[in-house]
Amino acid sequence: MMDIYFEKRELRKKIKLLKQDYSLEQKKEMSLSIWKQLEATDVFREANIIMAYWSMDDEVFTHDFIQKWYAEKKIILPVVRGTELELKEFKGIREMVAGEKYGIPEPIGPTFQQPESIALIVVPGVAFDNNGNRMGRGKAYYDKLLRSSRAYKVGVCFPFQLRAHIPFDELDVRMDKIIISS
């Protein structure tokens, strides 16, 4: 049996190469259908507090979605602090600074103190499978946070990131739903 860490490493390499076939503009365009699908769900419509992420150039593009909804819903974003994710409320693009670890813009301000009140979490991933399994970048930031959350978890991805099967172990957290760009 192939070692799961080797399997994950190889799949991460494959997906990274596939992502390079698309420009940032193409990824932005592909992301639009994901947000339309999410906005059509009851869980989104009923959620007052949503955790999302500020996307990097190789991920499903979230910037426009976050800016569209933050005045109506409380949008929480993760901030990398050491080996943990700290949660902060998005209060507009002017209230963001480059993060210490990856340079990704992160909200400034106090730590969000009610993680149990988050109704919906939009989760990035390197790959997902048809059983709701998610594979991240390998740092387990999200798995630690997701394990302790009762929020509805929605993985978002491009079609080439959805696989029949991905390597999965007991530390990985399953998604409640996966939305793929059309």
Over residues 2-40, the pLDDT tens digits come to: 688 899 999 999 999 999 999 999 999 999 999 999 999
Over the stretch 31-75, which tens digit does the pLDDT of each residue have? 999 999 999 999 999 999 999 999 999 999 999 999 999 999 999
Burial of 76: CB neighbours in 10 Å, binned 0-12, 13-18, 19+: buried
Nearest of 171, 166, 173 to residue 9 by alpha carbon: 166
For residue 97, count CB atoms less than 10 angstroms from its CB and return exposed for 0-12, middle for 13-18, buried for 19 or more.
exposed
By CB neighbour count within 10 A (0-12 exposed, 13-18 middle, 19+ buried), where does 61 fall? buried
**Straight-line distance from the first to the last Cα atom of the chain, in angstroms, rounded to the nearest whole number:** 35
Task: Label residue 71 exposed, middle or buried (CB < 10 Å: 0-12, 13-18, 19+).
Answer: exposed
Residue 155 corresponds to which tokens in the numbers above? 């993985």
Q: Which residue has the tokens 């569209």?
A: 68
Q: What is the pLDDT of residues 115-148, one digit of tens each?
A: 999 999 999 999 999 999 999 988 877 888 899 8
Does the pLDDT value for residue 169 go beyond 90?
A: no
Domains of the chain: 4-180 (3.40.50.10420)
2-8 contacts: CB < 8 A, separation 24 or more? 4/167, 4/169, 7/167, 8/135, 8/138, 8/166, 8/167
pTM > 0.85: yes or no: yes
The residue count of the chain comes to 182
Question: What are 88-100's pLDDT values in tens digits?
Answer: 999 999 999 998 7
Tokens matching residue 92: 């507009």
Integer angstrom CA distances of residue 39 from 58, 66, 126: 22, 12, 23
